[in-house]
Structure 1
Amino acid sequence: MHLRDCAQKSHIVLDRQVSITDAVAIIDHGISIELHPDAVARCVAAHQRLQQVIAEDRHVYGLTTGFGPLANRLVDTSSGALLQQNLVHHLASGVGPALGWRAARAMVFARLMSILQGASGASELAINALIKLINSELAPEVPSQGTVGASGDLTPLAHMVLCFQGRGAFFDKAGRFYHSQNGLDQLGIAPLDLAQRDGLALVNGTSAMTGIAVLNADLAGRAVGWSIALTAAMAEVQNARTEAWHPAFGTLRPHARQIETAGLLRAALVGSERVERRCLADRILTDVPRQTEERAGQDAYTLRCAPQVIGAVWDMLDWHNQVVTTELNAVTDNPIFPLPHDDGPLVLHGGNFMGQHVGLASDALATGVCVLAGFAERQMARLTDETLNRGLPAFLHQGVGGLNSGLMGAQVTATALVAEMRTQGAASAQSISTNGANQDVVSMGTIAARHVQHKLDMLMRVQAILALSMAQAIDIRSQDQTGLSFSPVALKLQAYVRGISAPLTQDRPLGRDIEAIAKAFAQDAPPS
């Protein structure tokens, strides 16, 4: 469960490494940045190696050659600036809706972190433009479609470069646009000159998919946290048995996040009088005639197997985050100008721009997100079904049944959202040869990351619907005659939801309530 560091920072000095937590805070414009002297030195040295290669008239892709399948066409060094400009021109063919404010800023930040490793050869002017944007409240307007994520995210990054040249637009979080020179004036920079090979240094890398994956990591962590919180509340309103969450299960099957999930579920129930804490086998059966139990001896899997389901998704999220952190702090260019070792080469040609790692990790996370959504939808379905919810009214309606339908419509919406999430398959397996068969295998990593982003938005809505149901169930249970107390955590969850959505005493439209809770879930950690 990814939670942001409680220690509030206002400033970070960037060197080689940045965490997902700090990256998200920087992207959200909560933290300003400056470069560590070592990072500056690495970038200067890499640019000097680039200048040496140019001075020695070496055969280098994108400096003295064309691009892609045209790399066998030599280009005179005197045409270097035009070559870089034409690179940006032909790549700026993106279409579709623009990346959101956070995603566009995340892409810029990921490009900066790659360059700071000191092997890209970008100029001081180019690096300064990236820093100026990150330290502002602006994002470049960049189409979301058009990259296959194999030679990096060429298309969206080319549109970013056009913005830095004063030939695009920037926008702020409120959606205000600053076109052409007005945008550069807001940043306090001059139009970017590509004469120093900055075109290739800025467009060649996995920065769009990596930036989006960073944001996905943050939001998925919150979703895991809400899944645990909602499941604990579910146990209380369903008078569940806690035996299945005993620590012995984790000891005997030691998946790290299964153990942690069970521990958090147990901790959330402290103070509750509404769960059954005795083990089933504590009961001694006598020789009296056996009768059918009033309720099942074990709870349904959406309660009993919660540590195994949520914990598995959480473990997979940890792997996703490990991959994304590595990618965020890596060189993803071609060619590269590596740090010199024992008279090693000044320049190397290869394929670090291939986004397969991020693509596969994103597809795995997409599956996990669908699992969490299906889990929440089944919990909500059980909670609203009068044949399964242990005495609660059908669809948690209040007032006259039939005249009021309660959360019936919201439950259908949750089902529809889960169905839509399941229609998108694994993007990273959809390689299609392109670029004159030069890119004969591609990662589709950015499409995979965008799919996760879309699915996370829907997951938050499904969890919001479940939260509405949970608050409604706590409302109803609190009116019963048992006098049994809910845990402080469950009551905090109820108050959190009720701070956004009023109790449903008679039917009313719930769409705006669902959206408001989903938005809050995306920003907040669960109450504890």
Structure 2
Amino acid sequence: MKNANSCITLAVDQPLTPLALEQIAFGAAMQLSTGHWQAIARCRDFLQQLIQQKRRIYGVTTGYGPLANTYVDPEASAALQQGLVFHLSSGTGPLLSPIQTRAIMAARVATLARGHSAIRPEALKLVLDCLAHQLIPQVPAIGTVGASGDLTPLAHITLALMGQGQVWLKEQVMPAQEALAACGLTPLHPEGKDALALVNGTAAMTGIAALNACQAERLLELSLVLTGAYGEVLNGHLEALQPGLAILRPHAGQLWAQQQLLKICSDSQRLQPVTQPPPRLPEDLPSGRARHQQPLPQDAYTFRCAPQHLGAVKASVDFHQECVATELWSVTDNPLFLPETGEVLHGGNFFGQQIAFAADALNNALITLAVHSERRLARLTDVTLNQGLPPFLRGNQNGLHSGMMGAQVTATALVAEMRTQAHPASIQSIPTNANNQDVVTLGTLVARRCATSLERLSEVLAIESFALAQAIELRGGPEAGFSRSAQALHRRVRAISAPLEDDRPLAPDIQRLSQHWLLPDHGFV
């Protein structure tokens, strides 16, 4: 697994960032500072004092959910915690990927490390040991409504820590008990608030959303590069990228997109330069008459409105990123403990509405990136619109060979797939849990949907990037006046996929490119 030999050390006064979480998700180990362990032990000691005083503490000396009206003697602590994990381990559907599960584990550690959840240090250390040993629980994707956080997926993770269920150990599937033994780890026997601390919080939606945040930023930057190359292939106008447009409409995202597009296109010899003041009309234009079929002075919206579109997407990506970053720095279980003031606070920090709203907004932004990509691809492959390029970018023997005809249809189908997932989930509250959870957020459903949208978007962008590499060659090659950005794009595509000559199955090329664009460590602009 990537990053398997590296380690992320979390500082006590700094949050876990989405990028650091992504590194852990892709294989890096995770360490806490001495300050973290001191805070964790202090909070656990505070809980022990409360238990000895037989205080009423939800989930520790009471039952769960609507059964909190049952008081439980502390002597039954272990049975109470074990039962919580068992009854919540009821997920179904496909498994989350090992990368997603690692992200969830890292997000949960970041919350528990703050020292307000009263978990035993040895219980939290077991999570870190599993990350270090590449021991990853198998977690069904469906079962959480994102209200008391992500109870079901987190319970499946905790179940594996207890030596039950199935896990991946360095990508090999085996029983959890066997995997723990192979790593020299002792299964968890939860007591006190161990299980409740591990299962009660927004870690599943937040961990997946953090991965989405990183991938969304990369695919937005890729979309920017593809848009610039598209403009070059179709001899677009630099005028639409001028700073004055953003100055007069000062959205931060538009200003960013305007600056980035101008930067990557500034050395292009193919884009039409700005003429100020605008050129005069022909001297021989008859008085009171019109002259038709003259060159268009501006481009189709896929290029002319690119700063406005990509800028709006940037705003949604930034909103989502800020929300995720805040959630990674938050303590999201219940109850919470403040040893320094002697308070025990019962509340709703596990309620995932912020992530749900942000993920819905991101999902819609991702769909628009796919829509615009598909429209750019449609213009590139349509002989009536592509300014002299061959039909479907074949180049010769058109009709005998069909070029990118099938791939363009696939891009259309991918956009249709994404559009069916556009209805917001964050408003779809369904009461549950005997009306204890009478409103729910479905934040994890939205985060999972975003993850799927990112996969589909990467496939659309893979098809477009392949088409642009082909179009660049049909225009004379990357040295024929194309920008350094377009040349770099061409090199990256050709390092993975060969040019299209006679027809061949393009599914393997699309898959390789789409997976490549999703990987970490890409810098596009």
TM-score range, shorter chain: over 0.9
Using the TM superposition, give the Cα deviation of residue 63 of structure 1 relative to its aligned residue in structure 2, in angstroms: 1.3
Report matched runs for 1:249-268 at 5 Å.
249-268=245-264
Alpha carbons of structure 1 residues 170 and 9: separation in structure 2 relative to 1, 3 Å: closer
1:432 aligns with 2:430: yes
Residue by residue, what CA displacement relative to the aligned partner does 1:71-121 show, whole Å, maximum 9, x if unpaired? 111222221110111111110000011110110001111111110111100
Report matched runs for 1:93-132 at 5 Å.
93-132=90-129
- Specify the alignment match of 2:439 in structure 1: 441
Using the TM superposition, give the Cα deviation of residue 281 of structure 1 relative to its aligned residue in structure 2, in angstroms: 4.6
- Specify the alignment match of 2:227 in structure 1: 231
Using the TM superposition, give the Cα deviation of residue 455 of structure 1 relative to its aligned residue in structure 2, in angstroms: 0.4
State whether residues 126 and 198 of structure 1, in contact with CA within 8 Å, keep that contact through their aligned partners in structure 2: yes
Alpha carbons of structure 1 residues 503 and 153: separation in structure 2 relative to 1, 3 Å: same
Report matched runs for 1:8-407 at 5 Å.
10-16=7-13, 17-30=15-28, 32-172=29-169, 175-279=171-275, 281-289=277-285, 290-341=290-341, 344-345=342-343, 347-407=344-404
1:302 maps to amino acid: T
Query: SS of 1:427's equivalent?
Result: coil
State whether residues 280 and 297 of structure 1, in contact with CA within 8 Å, keep that contact through their aligned partners in structure 2: no
Query: SS of 1:361's equivalent?
Result: helix
Alpha carbons of structure 1 residues 152 and 10: separation in structure 2 relative to 1, 3 Å: closer
Query: SS of 1:26's equivalent?
Result: helix
- Specify the alignment match of 1:471 in structure 2: 469
1:390 maps to amino acid: Q
State whether residues 229 and 526 of structure 1, in contact with CA within 8 Å, keep that contact through their aligned partners in structure 2: no
Q: What is the alpha-carbon distance in structure 2 between the residues aligned to residue 195 and residue 295 of structure 1? A: 77
The worse-fitting range, judged by mean Cα deviation, of 291-300 and 322-331 is 291-300
Query: SS of 2:236's equivalent?
Result: coil
Q: What is the alpha-carbon distance in structure 2 between the residues aligned to residue 479 and residue 146 of structure 1? A: 52
1:217 maps to amino acid: A
Using the TM superposition, give the Cα deviation of residue 460 of structure 1 relative to its aligned residue in structure 2, in angstroms: 0.2
State whether residues 320 and 365 of structure 1, in contact with CA within 8 Å, keep that contact through their aligned partners in structure 2: yes
Q: What is the alpha-carbon distance in structure 1 between the residues aligned to residue 322 and residue 106 of structure 2? A: 18
Residue by residue, what CA displacement relative to the aligned partner does 1:270-318 show, whole Å, maximum 9, x if unpaired? 3321110123753122431253344322101110111111111111111
Query: SS of 2:94's equivalent?
Result: strand
Query: SS of 2:174's equivalent?
Result: strand
Q: What is the alpha-carbon distance in structure 2 between the residues aligned to residue 37 and residue 293 of structure 1? A: 74
The worse-fitting range, judged by mean Cα deviation, of 449-458 and 266-275 is 266-275
- Specify the alignment match of 1:3 in structure 2: none
Using the TM superposition, give the Cα deviation of residue 517 of structure 1 relative to its aligned residue in structure 2, in angstroms: 0.2
State whether residues 334 and 349 of structure 2, in contact with CA within 8 Å, keep that contact through their aligned partners in structure 1: yes
State whether residues 268 and 481 of structure 2, in contact with CA within 8 Å, keep that contact through their aligned partners in structure 1: yes
State whether residues 144 and 150 of structure 2, in contact with CA within 8 Å, keep that contact through their aligned partners in structure 1: yes
1:239 maps to amino acid: N
State whether residues 118 and 339 of structure 1, in contact with CA within 8 Å, keep that contact through their aligned partners in structure 2: no
Q: What is the alpha-carbon distance in structure 1 between the residues aligned to residue 94 and residue 398 of structure 2? A: 44
Q: What is the alpha-carbon distance in structure 2 between the residues aligned to residue 219 and residue 9 of structure 1? A: 21
Residue by residue, what CA displacement relative to the aligned partner does 1:168-201 show, whole Å, maximum 9, x if unpaired? 222156x311322221134432010112321111
Using the TM superposition, give the Cα deviation of residue 11 of structure 1 relative to its aligned residue in structure 2, in angstroms: 4.4
Q: What is the alpha-carbon distance in structure 2 between the residues aligned to residue 188 and residue 365 of structure 1? A: 42
Query: SS of 2:93's equivalent?
Result: strand
Alpha carbons of structure 1 residues 479 and 19: separation in structure 2 relative to 1, 3 Å: closer
Q: What is the alpha-carbon distance in structure 1 between the residues aligned to residue 471 and residue 315 of structure 2? A: 31
Alpha carbons of structure 1 residues 250 and 9: separation in structure 2 relative to 1, 3 Å: farther
Alpha carbons of structure 1 residues 527 and 328: separation in structure 2 relative to 1, 3 Å: closer
State whether residues 169 and 179 of structure 2, in contact with CA within 8 Å, keep that contact through their aligned partners in structure 1: no
Query: SS of 2:345's equivalent?
Result: coil
State whether residues 169 and 179 of structure 1, in contact with CA within 8 Å, keep that contact through their aligned partners in structure 2: yes
Using the TM superposition, give the Cα deviation of residue 33 of structure 1 relative to its aligned residue in structure 2, in angstroms: 2.9
Query: SS of 1:282's equivalent?
Result: coil
Residue by residue, what CA displacement relative to the aligned partner does 1:390-441 show, whole Å, maximum 9, x if unpaired? 1111111122111111111111111111111111221111100000000000
| TM-score, normalising length: structure 1 | 0.94
State whether residues 95 and 145 of structure 1, in contact with CA within 8 Å, keep that contact through their aligned partners in structure 2: yes
2:502 maps to amino acid: Q
Which of the residues 510, 513, 517 maps onto 1:517?
Answer: 513
Using the TM superposition, give the Cα deviation of residue 525 of structure 1 relative to its aligned residue in structure 2, in angstroms: 2.3
Name the count of aligned residue pairs.
514
Q: What is the alpha-carbon distance in structure 1 between the residues aligned to residue 382 and residue 282 of structure 2? A: 34
1:210 maps to amino acid: T
Query: SS of 2:189's equivalent?
Result: coil
Using the TM superposition, give the Cα deviation of residue 526 of structure 1 relative to its aligned residue in structure 2, in angstroms: 4.9
Unpaired stretches in structure 1, ≥5 consecutive residues: 1-7
Residue by residue, what CA displacement relative to the aligned partner does 1:121-144 show, whole Å, maximum 9, x if unpaired? 000111101111222323211111
Q: What is the alpha-carbon distance in structure 2 between the residues aligned to residue 281 and residue 377 of structure 1? A: 35
Q: What is the alpha-carbon distance in structure 2 between the residues aligned to residue 498 and residue 339 of structure 1? A: 59
Q: What is the alpha-carbon distance in structure 1 between the residues aligned to residue 252 and residue 524 of structure 2? A: 23
Q: What is the alpha-carbon distance in structure 1 between the residues aligned to residue 294 and residue 175 of structure 2? A: 69
Alpha carbons of structure 1 residues 470 and 144: separation in structure 2 relative to 1, 3 Å: same
- RMSD of equivalent CA atoms: 1.8
State whether residues 80 and 195 of structure 1, in contact with CA within 8 Å, keep that contact through their aligned partners in structure 2: yes
The worse-fitting range, judged by mean Cα deviation, of 406-415 and 68-77 is 68-77
Alpha carbons of structure 1 residues 112 and 92: separation in structure 2 relative to 1, 3 Å: same
Alpha carbons of structure 1 residues 9 and 243: separation in structure 2 relative to 1, 3 Å: farther
Between the aligned residues of both structures, percent identity stands at 44
